[in-house]
Structure 1
Amino acid sequence: MPEQNFSTTAAPEGESVKTNSIQQIRYVCSIAAMHSASAIPGVIPITHCGPGCADKQFMNIAFYNGFQGGGYGGGSVVPSTNATEREVVFGGADRLRELIESTLKILDADLFVVLTGCISDLVGDDVGSVVSEFRSKGVPVVYAETGGFKGNNFTGHELVARAIIDQYVGSYEGPSEPGLINVWSLLPYHNTFWRGDLTEIKRILEGVGFKVNILFGPESQGVSEWKAIPRAQFNLVLSPWLGLQTAQHLEEKYGQPFLHVPVIPIGAMETSAFLRRVVAFAGLDPMVAEAFIAREEASYYRYLEDFSDFYAEYWWGLPAKFSVIGDSAYNLALTKFLVNQLGLIPSRQIITENPPEEYRQQIALQYQNIAEDVSASVGFEEDSYRIHQIIRNTSFGHKPPIIFGTTWERDLAKELKGAIVEVGFPSSYEVVLSRAYVGYRGALTLLEKIYTTTVGASA
């Protein structure tokens, strides 16, 4: 992780403060993209980095964040060179070569992804040359240079995706397959609920007639889906910005168009609109889509009808205003849902993953039209000290607020006498297996979580 980070945005009362440290960070360094590799079934990352780097990424992103576990190729399975002073002085290429040879004897994988850390990138190890030796022998292996100074794990994710596409998927000159789409959306493991969310996204897209390369998670077919990427009719980028660089690269490489939908849908209103938009873009039969949407909405609103008895009885004791503190994908999606579906009033929303400057204006514009005549105040901030000061200075009216945040906000919520729903990294008070918060079914689960939490907080 970079030693120096500067926080200059989202200051209260228009104030801008520059510091040289960040308290309670909400992302990790780019080598944590080892999780993006291990999130593909049958893929094992190999890390060429200092001792403890890989373990820290696992404990932070996959363990103390919903206790997700490491899966087949992650966690304690990940091989590492554990580079020391010797590799700093003499280089680590031989050590990496030895590690890859040993890995091939012990571990079975459809694809190995070598990721570099700060040490190897700084000393200039020719990792590409080492990897090419094994690739020339038929070993399925690629590499990505993911030293911490390259950026955070969001940056690393794009680097790993591009490495697999360029070094493993390769060139393609054949026809596209109508109705087949590649989905680029949530960041695996960093988003606590990514497995359930991607499962729901695939389900609803298949429901309206698509064939879906979901690419990551338990519903992915692994490297066979990645090999099928060039055949897709188009790429769907379902996030405010993550995946856009990959989609643009695929457009250049294979001539594939892409559709960018910045708001991940939660609830019937957003999900139905999302599906209609994607179906129209693809030119699929709208009758198939409308039949699926009608079935899903009928089921969704039956559950909501029963929920309305609770809501009508206890509305006076429930929070009226909220803040969301987290990465832009969930921040925007939750804000839209809470305003449009529940009628809650947005206070201050804070985006924490440090998105590239070129995307920030586009993200901020989304908050200007949350609903008809409703906009939300949004800022970009990484430092938890600053974030908590902003929230303390935010007016929530006469009712206790509900904070959608992380473990870092638990004490803050108590201080404000409000409720906390952990929706992002780190989530150390959630155990997550297949839970989803997006789509039709995920929204119902989210409603259960929100109001179980608020009822419990008022007890």
Structure 2
Amino acid sequence: MTLIDHASIKPAAAPAKTNSIEQIRYGCAIGAQQTVAAIPRAIPITHCGPGCTDKQFMNLSFYNGFQGGGYGGGAVIPSTNASEREVIFGGGERLDELIDAALKILDADLFVVLTGCISDLVGDDIGGVVSPYQKRGVPIVYAETGGFRGNNFTGHELVTRAIIDQHVGPYEGTRDADLVNVWSLLPYHNTFWRGDLTEIKRVLEGVGLRVNILFGPESKGISEWKAIPKAAFNIVLGPWLGVATARHLEAKYGQPFLHVPALPIGANATTAFLRQVLAFAGRKRRSARAEAFIAEEEARYYKYLEDFSDFYAEYWWGLPAKFAVVGDATYNLALTNFLVNQLGLIPGKQIITDNPPEEFRAGIVEHYRHIADDVSTDVEFEEDSYTIHQKLRATDFGHKAPIIFGTTWERDLAKELKGAIVEVGFPTSYEVVLSRSYVGYRGALTLLEKIYTTTVGASA
């Protein structure tokens, strides 16, 4: 992965605005193969050009925390590797052969066929190819995810809807008052999604709920997806991703949903999140158990913070006062909220990079304007790294070195600004990530360790 040192580039005049994006921060829609790979014992089958599948895996998984391929990702993924022949004559027959071979060789609870630009542009009838297998009882669905349809966030929503409509299907049974579905982080794209979803599930179960977490090592796989209609309600945890899925479930099953825009980091935010969920669930009868869990978690959290305060008090002169966050809306809002309200840092620049739908942008902006009782800040939406870096260079971070929460693309810039860098989003190419989490009670402590270990190291 080559990084460009913009410090050496001195344009004579500001360049004209173009439609190009330098140093991209997401994949294309077929990157939703990673959504499938995140479901235990699910395998994607891609109908796309040569290299598309490998590039999505290498970018979204390998060079992003070195996350690995899992059971059904990476080198496991079957692909048609469509060529000129498929462009001219169509690739339906080639896809049918691939599916038939995959069923003979691979063992999975669900196969998900994903299309790339070639098949979508030539108009291959993917439903016509997949339908006969579905009629035979084969657990297989399809989603049209050509790159021109959007980025991998778009592809993620297309895949979740395809599984719900084609595999979960209609439901006429009763609801389980203790069961909830969680829709939150984008698997693999969010570098810490595995640990974060584990912590979200842990705290929700701690207050007496049972959780369909749907993705990652804590999910039971397709059986959880089949149980989606049985849940009492859905939780959308983040500014926008998952809202479309929750709306669809509300229309399909009459299932209500709770939208919590800010992913909780730290005791205050996590406790507030849990109480909001319990209030929505009407769980007063179990409030004693929930409050006991919350009290225990908070006591443990603040005991660690008490010990941390010795370092903070002695080393305050060497710590950053202002910060910048560059990343997707979910982590950007969560980190800004934590850094302002828990650590008392001053927001310098916040830039959201995942191109949220227009309908959500005004609401996202409003959260930043009321980030704390006495703190208001602005947020910008930008996808191009050149423009992002120019904005960061123009930011007044005061007389202290800033700390930047960003990606590998910001490493050289952080050195230029004589600041510290904490990689928190795609691409994160200087971190090996297994089960690390930055959310909830436990994740916040890990985040504090990372922030101040990085800060001390940068000042050495």
Q: CA deviation at 1:289?
A: 1.2
In structure 2, how many angstroms separate the alpha carbons of the residues matched to 1:378 and 1:272?
26
The residue aligned with 2:359 is 358
2:78 counterpart of 1:79: yes
In structure 1, how many angstroms separate the alpha carbons of the residues matched to 2:16 and 2:408?
25
Q: CA deviation at 1:376?
A: 1.6
Where do 1:27-426 residues align within 5 Å?
27-284=26-283, 285-426=286-427
Q: Deviations over 1:15-46 (max 9, x none)?
A: 99631211000011000000001100010000
Where do 1:21-32 residues align within 5 Å?
21-32=20-31
- The change in CA–CA distance for 1:17 and 1:447 in structure 2 (over 3 A counts) is farther
1:280/1:286 contact within 8 Å kept: no
In structure 2, how many angstroms separate the alpha carbons of the residues matched to 1:16 and 1:249?
43
SS of equivalent to 1:50: coil
1:268/1:440 contact within 8 Å kept: yes
Q: CA deviation at 1:362?
A: 1.0
* Letter of the 2:406 counterpart: G
Using structure 2 for the length normalisation, give the TM-score. 0.96
In structure 2, how many angstroms separate the alpha carbons of the residues matched to 1:369 and 1:246?
27
SS of equivalent to 2:208: coil
* Letter of the 1:61 counterpart: L
In structure 1, how many angstroms separate the alpha carbons of the residues matched to 2:366 and 2:105?
51
Q: CA deviation at 1:274?
A: 0.4
* Letter of the 1:375 counterpart: S
The residue aligned with 1:12 is none
Q: Deviations over 1:367-420 (max 9, x none)?
A: 011111101221000000000000000000000000000000000000000000
In structure 2, how many angstroms separate the alpha carbons of the residues matched to 1:114 and 1:337?
39
The residue aligned with 2:8 is none
Q: Deviations over 1:284-339 (max 9, x none)?
A: 12221111000000000010000000000001110000000000000000000001
* Letter of the 1:321 counterpart: K
Q: Deviations over 1:201-256 (max 9, x none)?
A: 00000000101000000000000000000000000000100000000000000000
Gaps of 5+ in 1: 1-14
1:347/1:377 contact within 8 Å kept: no
Gaps of 5+ in 2: 1-13
2:441 counterpart of 1:440: yes
- The change in CA–CA distance for 1:16 and 1:442 in structure 2 (over 3 A counts) is farther
The residue aligned with 1:449 is 450
Q: Deviations over 1:114-164 (max 9, x none)?
A: 000000000000000110111111110000000001100000000000000
SS of equivalent to 1:273: helix
* Letter of the 2:126 counterpart: V
SS of equivalent to 1:200: helix
In structure 1, how many angstroms separate the alpha carbons of the residues matched to 2:250 and 2:414?
45
Q: What CA RMSD, in Å, does the superposition of the two structures yield over aligned residues? A: 0.9
In structure 1, how many angstroms separate the alpha carbons of the residues matched to 2:143 and 2:15?
36
SS of equivalent to 2:216: coil
1:332/1:367 contact within 8 Å kept: yes
Q: Deviations over 1:67-113 (max 9, x none)?
A: 00010000010000000000000000000000000101110000000
In structure 1, how many angstroms separate the alpha carbons of the residues matched to 2:434 and 2:305?
24
SS of equivalent to 1:94: helix
* Letter of the 2:88 counterpart: V
SS of equivalent to 2:427: coil
* Letter of the 2:410 counterpart: E
Q: Which moved more, 1:188-197 or 1:284-293?
A: 284-293
Q: Show structure 1 runs of 4+ deviating over 2 A.
A: 15-18
Using structure 1 for the length normalisation, give the TM-score. 0.96
In structure 2, how many angstroms separate the alpha carbons of the residues matched to 1:35 and 1:100?
19
Q: CA deviation at 1:423?
A: 0.1
* Letter of the 1:122 counterpart: L
- Percent identity over the alignment is 77
Q: Deviations over 1:411-455 (max 9, x none)?
A: 000000000000000000000000000000000000000000000
The residue aligned with 1:6 is none
SS of equivalent to 2:324: strand
In structure 2, how many angstroms separate the alpha carbons of the residues matched to 1:295 and 1:92?
58
* Letter of the 2:171 counterpart: Y
* Letter of the 1:338 counterpart: L
